[in-house]
Structure 1
Amino acid sequence: MTVIVLCALAAWVAQRAAAVFHDGVRPFLLDFVQGRSTRRATATVSFGLSAGFVFGLGAPLALSTGVLNPWLVFLPTDVLGLVSPRRWLAAALGAAWGAVVVFGVGGADSLVHKLPVDFVTAMQQMATPILHLFALFPVLAVARQFGRLSGALCGVLELALTVMSLKLWPKIFPGSIAMAAGVLVLVGLALHRDTGRRGTADTGPGRPAGAEEDPTAGLFRAGALRLRSHLPLLMLLGAGVCLLCQAHVFGGGEASGFLIAKGDHGGAAQVDFYRALGFIPLIATTALASGAYGVAGFTLVYPVGYLLPGPWLALAAGALLFAAEVMLLSWAGRALGGLPSVRDASGQLRNAITETLHLAVLLGSLAAANAMGGGPGILIVGGLYLFNEATGRPVTRVAAAPAAVVAGGVLLNVLYWMHLFTPVAR
């Protein structure tokens, strides 16, 4: 019921262009709100950007972990809300999608486990590379922004902390402390560079008295006012997302989904908190420019929800957190404008997360292919992935490998029924 109601609310909010989940769709909402683009055109953009993530990443991850994720739950509600000419229709379609998610994932999971080639169980092989390689994303970000030496030192620090964690704190996810140290190193270096620039600027000539205001300031002001006008609705959305996270049936990222499936809610909270640091500047900027917020806000609601002990507290915390985020958006935009290195660090974190997960998901998908079909499984899954690369990536890169595992699993079952393939012994 929580999923169904939340999907209805998310689609209703998207229909009003008050919030969408996909960061790439949000900038297009400004033209829609101002009447320069049609509802159908905006929904088409949303579908084009989202379809690959829904079927290539969201559905396979939900099947392999048994935990829902935002790509499966919220990307379709973006499309359904934007395409609906009436609010009641958006809510009805969102609720219907929520029902499909709840009953469809469970039914598909039960069905696949009965097949001769159980590719869902095989996809659990993705957990190890995703969990352990994900911890390296701060190292990539440091190396890209501050050079090889800084990146190498950060990598050595993370490796040492990981080894210490395995030895001294075996019950703690070993990558959590390493990730924390890596992110602190990146933020510390960025702040050091920004404060150095500010000190140099303070000794130079002041701003001319007649200097013009930043041309984006007026646009950001209008966006902030529009967001505040939707504050009660956004608070309801925050309450619902936090409640879903508190139920521990939802994970905000690839790594956190596997951690929640293992019952490591503290580790999942850490992973999603560090992930949020890479997306806060992007979400803040696009929200202020378009006047539309994110369905999950700054995504800080994920770790908060994982750690809360009860549903009523989650409802209150989610609503208050979204209220605070919306009210502080203008300040966040101004603060980020004065910290260019911190803003760049956020972009480097996003890119590093994408690259790290691409490698981890690819390795995990090949391991799953081997588990379900041995050499033929690797041939089919690897071949589908390479075909996607050769044809211009019609399926986005990070989603191509899991989608190939599902397609490969279906094909191997067909080959089995044709007496052309013998499943790998379980």
Structure 2
Amino acid sequence: MGTSKLIELIAIAALGGLSSILANKGIAVFNDGLRPIVPEFLEKKIGKKELAATSFALSFGLVIGFGIPVSIGASILLVHSILLMTDIIGSWAPEGKKGMIISGVIGAVYGVGLVLGLQAVVDAFAMMPVNFIDSLSQVGAPVVISFSIFPAVAIASQHGFKKGSISFIATLLTLFIVKQFGTFNLGNGTKLTLSAEGMSLLVGMIFMIYYAVQVKSDGSNSNESLVSVFLERVNRIKKNWIWLSVMGGLVSAATSLLLIAGDPISLNLLSEGKMSEAALAAFARGIGFIPLVFSTAIVTGVYSPAGTTFVFVVGILLKGNPLLAFVVGALVMFIEVQLLTLMAKALDKFPGIREMGEHIRTAMNKVLEVALLIGGAMASESIAPGIGYFWVIGLLLLNRKAKKPVVDLAVGPIAAITLGILVNILNLIGLFTPVVAG
């Protein structure tokens, strides 16, 4: 094995191992939909089983149905195929030092295994009697778009239906306009595409902050004496700045070695040797991710292992120089964490902003409950047409009558996973034949 190959394997092992540990400790997860759920577990509102099942259902289908297939055919891995799986590994591993070790080891082995045997992973799942993995990816399908809705829900909760409706319409119009007109041709065949979800979320957040700052102080110093919801969450991220900085450095280093890419567009450009175009595409994507990553981080106290994804830009610009990329990537992640703190302090100067924190968390959970239930129903119906909706609705209503019910948040994902396992068992004993489209 050559020195360069050894360096690549060490880099990917470190990336997989550390990201799994961060997920296990509840410091950072890659899946935006999982981020608001982690604090629910840390505060013992949901159990380890619900967290693990939700993480699996949100991420696994995307790993097998999106991350790995996009990576096949190129010598570069789409980062989703690694960091979504390390979310799962960290969520499933037990708590404490034992869990950290297990997460780190399995995450590192997975990263190396992915580099060495990418196609074998896809072939292994194709051998299942009934392939429900592709269908499972639908569980998380409504989550990304539904995130844009939570500011309007939070506004309605805090300021009333009328203001919530105005915000909802503004968010909807932004989503429509950016989807229709958000692609710009930059020449040389390079296109800049704005994230419709990210931009609509940004508009919703602007409305939410605007209404919150209108709330006048009662003249007391209660704001100063109370511990801020936002600052408390951000301080949790700040406390882990070393972990996060090292993680950012590893992402940049792996990108500079052309091991990973942050999105399919830059991946394809990198595979064609178009470095400047790839950097531009990655930069544009980072701008679109700022509202989503920052808003979820401030509210939940959980960050992303790739931050706002600017660490990929660093890696591309410093191609072939992993050590320098590591240092600069770590610095970029550190700066992001500091900006979070400044933003939280600025927001905390207004009483309406402080009160907004709990409304946001409630709104996020409500939106996720609905999105995951719809996603679970879509996935279940795809796995077993004509039975899926029956299965999900039945489990949801029966669960509410159970002595120890599973939280509604986890019903959709658990229903899809259990149905997928069930139809495979029934197929093996000759009682279920998958419906083939066409």
Indicate the TM-score class for this superposition, using the shorter chain for normalisation.
Answer: 0.5 to 0.7
In the TM superposition, what is the alpha-carbon distance from 1:111 to its structure 2 partner? 2.9
Match of 2:295 in 1: 278
Matches of 1:226 and 1:278, distance apart in 2: 13
1:6 aligns with 2:15: yes
Q: For the structure 1 residues 174 and 78, does the alpha-carbon distance in structure 2 shift closer, same or farther, using more than 3 Å as the test?
A: closer
Alignment partner of 2:426 out of 368, 391, 415: 415
What are the Cα deviations for residues 299-328 of structure 1, in whole angstroms up to 9, with x where unaligned? 781332355562657634541244346667
Specify the alignment match of 1:96 in structure 2. Answer: 106
Distance 2:237 2:201 in 1: 36
- The code of the aligned residue for 1:238 comes to G
1:186 Cα offset (Å):
1.1
* Aligned match of 2:5: none
Q: CA deviation at 1:74?
A: 4.6
C-alpha separation between the residues in 2 aligned to 1:419 and 1:78? 34
**Following the alignment from structure 2 to structure 1, what is the Cα–Cα distance between the partners of residues 399 and 108?**
30
User: 2:136 — aligned with what?
Assistant: 123
Aligned twin of 1:154: 167
- CA RMSD after TM alignment: 4.7
Counterpart position of 2:355: 344
Structure 2 distance, partners of 1:14, 1:159, is 33
How do 1:250-289 and structure 2 match up within 5 A? 269=286, 272-282=289-299
Out of 193, 211, 226, which is 1:189 matched to?
A: 211
Name the CA distance, whole Å, in 1 between partners of 2:163 and 2:371: 23
Instruction: Provide the rounded CA distance (Å) in 2 between the counterparts of 1:136 and 1:225.
Output: 26
Alignment-derived partner of residue 51 in structure 1: 52
1:323-350 Cα deviation digits (max 9, x unpaired): 3466678766755543332233344333
What corresponds to 1:133 in structure 2? 146
1:116-151 C-alpha deviation (Å, 9 max, x unpaired)? 422122234446533433322222122122211111
Aligned with 1:239 (options 249, 258, 262): 249
From 315, 318, 331, the equivalent of 1:320 is 331
Deviation at 1:94, TM superposition (A): 1.0
Alpha carbons of 1:109 and 1:359: their partners in 2 closer, same or farther (altered >3 Å)? Answer: farther
Letter in 1 for 2:249: A
The answer to whether 1:391 aligns with 2:402 is yes
1:167 paired to 2:176: no
Unpaired runs of 5+ residues, structure 1, are 29-44, 252-263, 285-293
Query: What do residues 37-81 of structure 1 show as CA deviations (whole Å, max 9, x unaligned)?
Result: xxxxxxxx9956743444444434434433347675257548869
CA change 1:118–1:330 in 2 (3 A) is closer
Post-superposition offset of 1:180: 2.1
- In the alignment, does 2:365 pair up with 1:354? yes
1:396: how far off? 4.5
Query: C-alpha separation between the residues in 2 aligned to 1:420 and 1:99?
Result: 37
Match of 2:77 in 1: none
Q: Which residue of 2 aligns with 1:257?
A: none
Quick one: distance in 1 between partners of 2:399 and 2:113? 30
Cα deviation for residue 153 of structure 1 reads 1.0
- Over 3 Å counting, the alpha-carbon distance change for 1:279 and 1:314 in structure 2 is farther
**Larger mean Cα displacement after TM superposition, 184-193 or 92-101:** 92-101
Question: Which AA in structure 1 matches 2:203?
Answer: A
Contact 1:81 1:91 in 2 (8 A): no
Question: Partner residue of 2:186?
Answer: none
Count matched residues: 367
Structure ranking higher in helix proportion? 1
How many Å separate the matches in 2 of 1:169 and 1:234? 32
Task: Rate the CA distance shift 1:71–1:224 in 2: closer, same or farther, 3 A.
Answer: same
Using the TM superposition, give the Cα deviation of residue 152 of structure 1 relative to its aligned residue in structure 2, in angstroms.
0.9
What's the offset of the Cα at 1:383? 3.5
- Change in 2 beyond 3 A, CA 1:392/1:168: farther
Residue 165 (structure 1) shift: 3.0
Q: Secondary structure at the match of 2:385?
A: helix
Letter matched to residue 239 of structure 1: G
Distance of 1:226 and 1:118 partners within structure 2:
39
Contact (CA 8 Å) 2:171, 2:203: kept in 1 or not?
A: yes
Conservation of the 8 A alpha-carbon contact between 1:241 and 1:301: no
1:404: Cα distance to partner? Answer: 2.1
Q: Is the 8 A contact 2:132 2:420 kept in 1?
A: yes
Q: Distance in 2 between matches of 1:18 and 1:417?
A: 38
Q: What is the deviation of 1:375?
A: 0.6
Q: Is the 8 Å Cα contact of residues 23 and 87 (structure 2) preserved in structure 1?
A: no
Q: Does the Cα contact within 8 Å between 1:18 and 1:227 map onto a contact in 2?
A: no
1:303 aligns with 2:309: yes
The 3-state SS of whatever aligns with 1:361 is helix
Q: Does structure 2 conserve the Cα–Cα contact (< 8 Å) formed by 1:4 and 1:96? A: no
Are residues 1:62 and 2:68 paired? no
How does the TM-score come out when normalised to structure 2? 0.64
Match of 2:413 among 395, 402, 405: 402
CA distance in 1 between partners of 2:170 and 2:371 (Å): 21
Partner of residue 382, structure 2: 371
Using the size of structure 1 for normalisation, the TM-score is 0.66
Q: Identify if the C-alpha distance between structure 1 residues 107 and 387 changes in structure 2 by more than 3 Å, giving closer, same or farther.
A: farther
Name the residue aligned to 1:35: none
